[in-house]
A and B are shown apart, each in its own frame.
Chain A
């Protein structure tokens, strides 16, 4: 079979089973694989090109671990923290999977930065690749959006306050800022509506856009073709090409393997902790964002009052526009970095600035004794909480029952009478009702205390027929009983 159509069987020569032939006949998988794997790379395979597939791998890993985490997670201010604590402390392999997901987010940002840097330094955005670049920019924003929305979901102190700062920063934007904050939070304060919004964004909206954009990014990339090395013509490559498979595949897989080993070891030996549950009343808490947001966090510190419009809106907007519009104004076909001094110095300046801001943030924290002390305290509290065994959340039903007894001594006394008089025999424990008699729960809404007393003393004909006797008790006891019955809800 190799004789007449050598190329057709390039990947699967003789010896391939009849099954493969059958599968190929039905699905055309050979062609799909060939299109995927036999992409020519001008100038040959290089380690510089591995970051795109690295990102794809992390994304898939995030999707899988994310779906599994959703098996136990509940997005509500009441339960989010408990369920994440359950995942981390109780569920087998839960701590590991959650760590993979959390560290995966950081790895995503790192590899994304490397991918972007490679594209920029190699000038691979040049030569009819404007839309490819744009889709990359949108993907970048989406990934940062994923990191931001996902960070809140555990609803521990760290998550809560970091997001409070993050959403507050939005309100600094003139005119629309306040509305933007309200929209993100679902209200003036952070609460259960915020979790719902962030959850929907993190789990449904942003991933859907990422799927779509990853698809178009790869499609556009294949349409434009690999740009090759820096001395290659980005539109009509002239250098000897090498196919994606096998060498580039192997190089890409090397990064994937590295990521698996690194993230796996990290998640196993230094699992992500969960801190104490969010306490909005904690006025001392010093919020700090995740490391990749530190530069922005530090940057925002410098701009307050009337200057905010410059620092929070104008400079970032210009910067973002400059990055997004890059392939539209940087039209020369020159790709060698040493021949692009402006581009390269801007890149270095930006990287140094981001790095500097991030490091500065850490430096400031360490050298402000009160902040350093508070941060250390927060870390200790986190460690302590992390060490405690999982404690299930008391259901609201049991809380209500316990509260009745605690809150009002008259109701507590009434409860004892309710049981001593065997009221619970027919009306059920806590008045939930049985086959013999109706529930008393919620009776407060229907009858006043006087009406209840009247019914107790003189049951209606219907009640008597059902077996309800008139109640004869000392006035104090009767009052307690009425208080208790009316407290049932």
Chain B
């Protein structure tokens, strides 16, 4: 490399006499440097990509399953039982804890399921009417049977079934909001 210095005059211009040799060497070096920089740049951008693509790599928002209670206390129930559950919604670096009422109900075969207490019509909270053994919405009078199936009134569908599971004897439910005023269960948001 030292010889390249000899071929410069005082103004720093390369003299043309031995041009091709130097230049080929230089352009080779240039390509090498260019390739090297691209490789190093690619390597350095790996953490940048992992950082910004974090939402693709891990869950950043999450609705945690909520505990409804001991499974055993529901399996023997004669009518729907209302329970207030704690819903933990993780949203990046923050979380929101809210409470919602749900119903635990049992069908003829004894299968336990969890219903949202939000009316599919316009969103009022539906109470269980013990005397009539029906869910009766106080707002516009929609009625549902003990399994949440639609009986009468303005609601276009039955009460919304929530995804539930039993884990270590605990009944867990994943709370969800559903669109109102539609015949089919559609997740909101």
Contact = CB atoms under 8 A, between A and B. Distances in A.
Given A97-B51, A253-B33, A397-B96, A435 B138 contact: no
B26 A245 contact: yes
Interface in B81-108: 84, 90-101
B23 A82 contact: no
Contact of B23 (A10, A238, A240, A436): A10
A94 B51 contact: yes
B47 interface: yes
B27 A11 contact: yes
B101 A10 contact: no
Nearest to B118: A434
Nearest to B1: A247
Contacts of B98: 397-398, 401, 429
Given A241-B12, A419-B84, A11 B93 contact: no
B58 interface: yes
B1 A240 contact: no
B10 interface: yes
Nearest to A253: B33
Nearest to B141: A467
Contacts of B27: 11-13, 15
Contact of B138 (A79, A243, A429, A467): A467
B20 interface: yes
Interface in A69-126: 71-72, 79, 82-83, 85-86, 90-94, 96-97, 100
Nearest to B100: A429
Given A91-B54, A242-B5, A422 B123 contact: no
Contacts of B95: 392-395, 398
Interface size class of A (residues with CB under 8 A): 35 or more
A211 interface: no
Contact of A434 (B13, B19, B123): B123
B15 to A, nearest CB: 10
A434 B96 contact: no
Interface stretch (B70-78, B124-132, B158-166): B124-132
The residue among B19, B48, B94 with the most chain A CB atoms within 10 A of its own CB is B94
A15 B30 CA distance: 14
Contacts of A430: 99
A56 to B, nearest CB: 14
A398 B88 CA distance: 10
Contacts of A419: 84, 101
B139 A425 contact: yes
Given A64-B48, A243-B8, A422-B127, A436 B139 contact: yes
A13 B94 contact: no
A246 B127 contact: no
Given A241-B12, A395-B95, A68 B48 contact: yes
B47 A93 contact: yes
B44 interface: yes
Contacts of A425: 124-127, 137-139
A83 B92 CA distance: 9
Given A13-B24, A68-B51, A91-B51, A240 B5 contact: yes
Contacts of B47: 93, 96-97, 100
B23 A426 contact: no
A422 B125 contact: yes
A260 B40 contact: yes
A436 B97 CA distance: 25
A23 interface: no
Given A422-B125, A425-B126, A429-B99, A7 B13 contact: yes
B93 A393 contact: yes
Given A11-B30, A68-B48, A86 B16 contact: no
Given A83-B93, A260-B40, A425-B124, A243 B30 contact: no
Interface string B130-145: 0000000111100000
A242 B19 contact: no
A265 interface: no
Contacts of A38: 12
A44 interface: yes
A92 B100 CA distance: 33
B44 A434 contact: no
A2 interface: yes
A243 B10 CA distance: 10
B54 A92 contact: yes
User: What are the 4 tightest A-B residue pairs by CB atom distance, in nearest-first order?
Assistant: A40-B12, A435-B122, A436-B139, A86-B93
23 contacts: A7-B13, A7-B14, A11-B23, A11-B27, A11-B30, A13-B20, A44-B5, A68-B48, A97-B51, A241-B11, A242-B4, A243-B12, A253-B33, A260-B44, A393-B94, A393-B95, A394-B95, A394-B97, A395-B94, A424-B125, A426-B124, A426-B138, A467-B139
Interface of A: 2, 6-7, 9-13, 15, 38-40, 44, 64-65, 68, 71-72, 79, 82-83, 85-86, 90-94, 96-97, 100, 238, 240-243, 245-247, 249-250, 253, 257, 260, 390, 392-395, 397-398, 401-402, 419, 422, 424-426, 428-430, 434-437, 467
